[in-house]
Structure 1
Amino acid sequence: MTQKAAIQKATLHEADIVILGAGAAGTGAARRLAGTGLSVRVLEALPRPGGRAWTHQASTHDADGLALDLGCGWLHSGDRNPWTRIAEQAGFTVERSAAAWGRQYGDLGIAPEDHAAAQRAFDAWSERLASAPPASDCAADALVAEDAHWTAYMQALSGYVSGDEMERISARDYAAYDAASTYINWRLPAGYGTLVTSSLPAEIPVHLGTPVEAIRLDGPGVALDTPAGTLRCRAVLVTVSTHVLAGDTLRWPAALDPWREAATRLPLGRDEKLFLEIVGDSPFEPETHVMGDLHDPQTGTYYIRPFGRPVIECFFGGAGARAVERDGTPAAFARAVDELAKLFGASVRGCLRPLVASGWAGVPSIGGAYSHALPGYADARLELARPFDGRLFFAGEATHPTDFSTAHGAYMSGARAAEEALAALAALAPR
């Protein structure tokens, strides 16, 4: 008897496997399960696929259909990132030129020697996390007296990288990512979100706008309560964010309390993107970058005219992103314009227009940017990744031990969870 025939005969469930979430992890799981002969469905709470991979198609005065990534935008560790291969096989252009991040265009607002000193301080702190980590596992405890002048800069970078301040970052967790990364970062002119959403297998149904309200384990398999009714299945691949896992938007069975506890130790940081449109003549050169104020931990960092497009990508992390959440998007756009005007001159105010903003913290089915481990809890990633009772399997960027916070870490975790589910179902199939 084939595996497909055995599963069809064994139960009255409406699906063999249900994937919760159509983001990068859900896509990785779906691609692994495609062609297995199993009945698979994807349930997505949002009215669109992609999760935190979202390419917004914008129109400006100068161009239509600009692909602007409001979530993941860089193929981090691009030389080993599975999305690079997927992109090239699908005919996407992969831009391999060096990024302008880390360079201050025209040395605006800071002397080059000061910028170099600030970066050296951050790099030395990162090295200490790996070579001489603090016993507390708190990343802030690796700061030294010489860092005091650049602490605000380092906190801003911590916000961009991890979504939170150093005081809430596990040194061991940070160092694990740092050691695994190749720091080769590439881009997709068509958008990372476009790649992710176009990579879902056509043969697997994706039910958008279908949030799961409760997961029940009463009886064999799993019951999923949704506004459209109850879906029964043999196994569930959970790819939702740690915010959802730890929260109350979905009713979880008490047996999953250990997984939910692990999720609380892997909170989502705060990172938000805003795009400003550039209108008319301006001093903004393509593929350049500036940081607003190296002495302000809430400062934005600005990528100017990516791919030559008439936009500025404004990125706020940690305290800066929480200010966006607290004060609202109009205030955040105003702050970005103020910082740019301080660097480039007041005249640029007349050529900058708010275009689009992310607002990840306010999306109930997501609730933030990407995960970081709290001090002392780096192992929570492994705890969260454990299967439950051969019925529930966990994926998502937070479950990857080294490539967390990335779309490729999410993708690989989805493929891993799918393999676990396949092995569990194969062990139950009649022989």
Structure 2
Amino acid sequence: MTTSDPDIVIVGAGAAGIGASRRLSSRGHSITILEQLPRAGGRAWTYATSAGPVDLGCGWLHSADRNPWTRIAAELGFTVDRRITAWGEQFKNLGFSGKDRAAARNAFAQWNEEIRNNPPASDCAADAIDPNSSWTPYLQALSGYISGEELEHISVRDYVAYDDASTDNNWRVPDGYGQLITSALPSDAELRLGTTLESLDLSEQKIVLQTSAGTIRTRAVIFTVSSNVLAGGAINLPSVLDPWRQAASLLPLGNNEKLYLEILDGGPFEDETHVLGNPRDNTTGAYYIRPFGKPVLECFLGGAGARACSATGGEAAFDHAINELAGLFGSDVRKYLKPLAASNWAGTPSIGGGYSHALPGHADARLQLAQSFDDRIFFAGEATHTTDFSTAHGAYESGQRAADEAMAALLVPVETSGVNRR
């Protein structure tokens, strides 16, 4: 069947797609959003559990003082918690003494100083590690949390661009960051959930999209899919878009997963506390305990730890997390912990991982990926942002940027824009 012909089709209903749709809707354009998942939000997902809502995807309003989601939260009536969190602290110094924490932080500070004052010619973040440091596993664990990948795969230029632009204000939404993001979707946007884009044809005057639910013809398309999806072969794209696929392949998604454990009555766990499982193991989890006083414990995994979680499966991953916690709090804590929920971003075909990082020597791929094609195809998503990649606000801003580009292109008569088309 053939569906209606909207002004613009947005592929992906995550933060970037919602950002684009809000801009376009405010200007009166008809929009269709295609989303392969049965829900909106993409990598923002507030999941309902018996212990309360938890964010399986993004959970922190990073650089919250300049984050557009902070303003949107106020507009939509969401509470934003601005308290300083326990992230980076170690509850009662369990397994990570104050002396060791100071030494580990010093190693991280030295690495940061090295990449700024004497960046390696290779642009490879691992080449700035002090070879004599005993804290390399700690640095690799941090890289996993920050970038989703070990330092051998991280561009120094890319990392510094993000770090220099970010602020220390990291706030939270008690009702869920994912809930905030999906609540911002404009009511007049046509959202088609569970709809896969199969192919795109540029040979006609209008762009022809073949989807799992039929054919759509439109003047402009905004892609907000993840870099892994764009670089892969799931969508049949014309060869003229190969340079965008190549750019996306240089900005792969790292690995980041979350596990949530329900805290049963009792136990040694206190509200708003945090521990690192094993600072000398690059696969370790970072555990945030009783956020907002909820009876849950969040385990955040990055890089090697997230890959191990995906490879072994949920049960083994929960066992590993509980073992790490038992090593800190004592074996008796096992009876207070119950597996509750887990993400599987690497195993979600329409996403394929956590968030993007530039490979060494390829920070400029973000600019390349953000370029439009022929005033018809536009690209957004966190991977296209040069400083706020890996964040929901970077994705949102990229969606607004792509929407502005698409609207400007729509003002140009078809017969004078781009190449001649039959």
Matched, 1:33 2:24: yes
How far residue 38 of structure 1 moved from its aligned partner, in angstroms, is 2.0
Q: Given residue 83 of structure 1, which amino acid in structure 2 is its aligned partner?
A: W
C-alpha distance in 2, partners of 1:124/1:418?
A: 41
* Aligned mates of 1:25, 1:232 — CA distance in 2: 22
Q: Which residue of 115, 124, 138 corresponds with 2:110?
A: 124
User: How much is the aligned-residue C-alpha RMSD, in angstroms?
Assistant: 1.3
Q: Tell me the percent identity.
A: 61
Letter in structure 2 aligned against 1:395: A
Task: Give the alignment partner of residue 47 of structure 2, picking from 44, 52, 56.
Answer: 56
Partner of 2:15: 24
Report whether the alignment pairs 1:303 with 2:303: no
Query: Structure 1 residue 101 and structure 2 residue 87: aligned?
Result: yes
SS of equivalent residue, structure 1 residue 361: coil
Tell whether 2:193 aligns with 1:189. no
CA distance in structure 1 between the partners assigned to 2:342 and 2:382 by the alignment: 23
SS in 1 for 2:363: coil
Give the Å deviation of 1:252: 1.1
1:421 paired with 2:406, answer: yes
2:145 to 145, 160, 166: 160
1:110 equivalent to 2:110? Answer no
Deviations 1:223-271 (A, max 9, x none): 1111111111000000000111010111111000000000010000000
CA contact (8 A) 1:221 1:391 kept: no
Q: 281, 290, 298: which is aligned to 1:313?
A: 298
SS at match of 1:423: helix
The farther-off stretch of 336-345 and 30-39 is 30-39
What is the rounded CA distance, in whole Å, between the counterparts of 1:38 and 1:300 in structure 2?
45
Is residue 405 from structure 1 mapped to residue 390 from structure 2 by the alignment?
Answer: yes
Residue deviations 1:94-139 (CA, integer Å, cap 9, x gap): 0000010110000000211111110121122123222321110000
Letter in 2 for 1:53: A
Query: Are 2:196 and 1:211 aligned?
Result: yes
- Structure 2 Cα separation of the partners of residues 412 and 88 of structure 1: 18
Cα deviation for residue 144 of structure 1 reads 1.5
**TM-score (normalised: structure 2):** 0.96
Q: Structure 1: which 5+ residue stretches go unaligned?
A: 1-11, 61-65
Cα separation, 1, equivalents of 2:168 and 2:73: 19
What letter is aligned with 2:148? G
SS at match of 2:412: helix
Q: Which runs of 5+ in 2 are unaligned?
A: 417-422
Q: Residues 76-102 of structure 1: CA distance to partner in whole angstroms, max 9, x if unpaired?
A: 000000000000111100000001011
Q: 2:6 aligns to what? A: 15
**What is the correspondence of 1:26-425 to structure 2 with a 5 Å cutoff?**
26-60=17-51, 66-146=52-132, 148-425=133-410
d(CA) in 2 for partners of 1:396, 1:75 = 17
**109-118 vs 365-374, which moves further:** 109-118
- What letter matches 1:90 in structure 2? L
Secondary structure, counterpart of 2:70 in structure 1: helix
**Deviation sequence 1:28-49 (CA, Å, 0-9, x none):** 0000001323221111010000
Q: Which consecutive segments of 4 or more residues in structure 1 shift more than 4 A? A: none
- Aligned counterparts of 2:207 and 2:362: Cα–Cα separation in 1: 30
C-alpha distance in 1 between matches for 2:347 and 2:208: 28
In structure 1, distance between residues paired with 2:28 and 2:278: 56
Shift of 1:145: 3.2
Letter in 1 for 2:84: A
Residue in 2 aligned with 1:3? none
> What are the superposed Cα offsets for residues 4-56 of structure 1, whole Å, 9 maximum, x if unpaired?
xxxxxxxx971110000000000000000013232211110100000000000
Q: Report SS of the residue matched to 2:48.
A: strand
Letter in 2 for 1:336: A
Q: Which residue of 1 aligns with 2:419?
A: none
Equivalent residues of 1:278, 1:352 under 8 A apart: yes
Q: Tell me the distance in 2 between the aligned counterparts of 1:193 and 1:304.
A: 20
Provide the C-alpha distance between the structure 1 equivalents of 2:316 and 2:415, rounded to a whole number of angstroms: 61
**Which whole-Å CA distance do the structure 2 matches of 1:201 and 1:131 have between them?**
46
1:151-206 deviations in Å (ceiling 9; x for gaps): 00110000000000000000000000000001210000010000010000001110
Most deviating of 412-421 and 130-139: 130-139
Three-state SS of the structure 1 residue aligned to 2:26 is coil
Distance 2:233 2:414 in 1: 35
Q: State the Cα distance separating 1:67 from its structure 2 match.
A: 1.7
In structure 2, the residue corresponding to 1:362 is in which secondary structure? coil
Q: Is the contact between residue 130 and residue 172 of structure 1 (CA under 8 Å) also seen in structure 2?
A: no
Provide the C-alpha distance between the structure 2 equivalents of 1:395 and 1:429, rounded to a whole number of angstroms: 23
CA apart distance, 1:427 = 1.8
Find the aligned partners of 2:81 and 2:111 in 1 and give their Cα distance. Answer: 31
Question: SS of the residue aligned with 2:405?
Answer: helix
- In 2: Cα distance, 1:330 partner to 1:91 partner: 38
Q: Distance in 2 between matches of 1:407 and 1:184?
A: 15
Instruction: Give me the TM-score of the superposition, normalised by structure 1.
Output: 0.94
Q: Secondary structure at the match of 1:25?
A: helix
